[in-house]
Structure 1
Amino acid sequence: MDKKRRQAYELHSQVAGRFCVRIGLTPNLITFTSLIMSVVAAIVLWKGWFIWGIVFIILTSITDMLDGATARAGNMGTTFGGILDHVLDRYAEFFILSGILLSGKVHPVWPIFAIFGMIMASYSRKAAESIGKIPSAEVGWVGRLEKFIVIMIGLALVWFFPEFDPAGLNLLEIALIFVGVVSHITAIQRLFYAKKELDRRAQNG
């Protein structure tokens, strides 16, 4: 997510964050709720109930948005909270993609390809920021939310059009391939961005 989109996102999430603070919710509680939603999503996807899977992926995304918004609204942000959010987000991605894999509706290689790409996109950013001391390496074409939207579109399309499989791939497999490709491209973009920033820092002394 680029800087302008991040600012717009934070602005629109402030109202929801303030509401969560008023009713006594904490960021870490919301983070764990997001993880639970992803586990439920994985179970219903495994059962092949893709429409319910979409519902719980949406709930996972909403609660993932709310933890940061609540932390900002209530001035409750902590370093550990940020680490917890980052780690549990990766577990959530793993659970959701595993549910799709176990559904038997796609070839196993495509959800594995997608989840590996999503994890590497995240890892390349965190490596640049923690090891390279780069303030923000959140560059790339497609963010986590957009990837989930593509996956949900694929789930809906394969639910309503199960027999449509151009080139021997169903519509969910095509969505997973897209997510995997753009995720790996994002990881490479972040590596190049880190190299550029480190070279610039070295030149400036």
Structure 2
Amino acid sequence: MTLDRLRPYVSGLLSPAIAGAARLRLTPNFFSAVALIAAFAAGGAFYFGEIVWGVILVAVNAVFDAMDGALARELEVASLRGDFIDHVSDRYADIVIITGLFAGGAASWQIGVFALTGVLMSSYMGTQAQALGVGRYYGGVLGRADRLVLLIIAGLLDLIFAAPVYGLPYLGWLLVIYGVFGHYTALQRIVYIWKRL
């Protein structure tokens, strides 16, 4: 189910933008920085109830996050430091966006913490596989690309249908989904790693 498998195709769609960035001598770290700034701004927008801006900024984060790695490969400057920066930026992006959602009232703090721990644990297991010599693994039902697409969809649904569903807005239910499927994805990755140790 995970949309992370589509990254090569997304990179192909971004080829014109990547070529333009290379001509302008922009660096992969530039795109990582802009993606992170967009994530912080999205978290702030959700906190203040500005769903339109939140959705737009999440989309900006997604596009620029896809471009940093693609540009690094295009320029043949991919490095461990760049990979490290990308992972750190992604985790901070996850934290500020999810915190912005539940601190802004989309759901209770309990649901928010459940969502946040699910997302962080699933992401951690993906890189822990590599640390243990199994090789980086991003399988499971809910990857980062899935989360970003679902976040944009939930935000649009809240804009179109303002009424809550069983007491929660769509963005609140999204946090429930993040929690349930985030922890389930972490469990899938734990089992995958364990079997290969």
Flag whether TM exceeds 0.5 (same fold).
yes
**Which amino acid in 2 is paired with 1:160?**
I
CA–CA distance in structure 1, aligned partners of residues 157 and 96 of structure 2: 21
2:134 corresponds to 1:134: yes
Could you state the TM-score of these two structures normalised by the residue count of structure 1? 0.87
**Which amino acid in 2 is paired with 1:179?**
Y
Q: Are the aligned partners of 2:107 and 2:175 in contact in 1 as well (CA < 8 Å)? A: no
Q: Are the aligned partners of 2:126 and 2:189 in contact in 1 as well (CA < 8 Å)? A: yes
Distance 1:3 1:196, change over 3 A: farther
CA–CA distance in structure 1, aligned partners of residues 99 and 36 of structure 2: 14
Shift of 1:4: 5.5
Distance 1:112 1:84, change over 3 A: same
2:147 corresponds to 1:147: yes
Q: Which residue of the partner structure matches residue 202 of structure 1?
A: none
**Which amino acid in 2 is paired with 1:154?**
A
Q: Which residue of the partner structure matches residue 56 of structure 1?
A: 57
Distance 1:69 1:112, change over 3 A: same
Unaligned 5+ residue runs, structure 1? Answer: 199-205
Q: Which residue of the partner structure matches residue 80 of structure 2?
A: 79
CA–CA distance in structure 2, aligned partners of residues 95 and 145 of structure 1: 17
**CA deviation vs aligned residue, 1:123-167 (integer Å, no higher than 9, x gap):** 01111111x20123121122211112212222222233332322x
Q: Give the stretch that moved more between structures: 26-35 or 110-119.
A: 110-119
Percent identical pairs in the alignment equals: 29
- Report which of the two structures shows the higher radius of gyration computed on alpha carbons: 1
RMSD over aligned CA atoms reads 1.9
Q: Which residue of the partner structure matches residue 183 of structure 1?
A: 182
Q: Which residue of the partner structure matches residue 101 of structure 1?
A: 102
Distance 1:46 1:134, change over 3 A: same
Shift of 1:3: 8.5
Unaligned 5+ residue runs, structure 2? Answer: none
CA–CA distance in structure 1, aligned partners of residues 182 and 107 of structure 2: 19
Q: Which residue of the partner structure matches residue 18 of structure 2?
A: 17
CA–CA distance in structure 2, aligned partners of residues 97 and 142 of structure 1: 15
**Which amino acid in 1 is paired with 2:157?**
L
Count of residues paired in the alignment = 196
Shift of 1:71: 0.2
- Classify the secondary structure of the residue corresponding to 2:196: helix
Shift of 1:2: 7.7
Could you state the TM-score of these two structures normalised by the residue count of structure 2? 0.90
CA–CA distance in structure 1, aligned partners of residues 3 and 83 of structure 2: 19
**Which amino acid in 2 is paired with 1:84?**
I
**Which amino acid in 1 is paired with 2:130?**
E
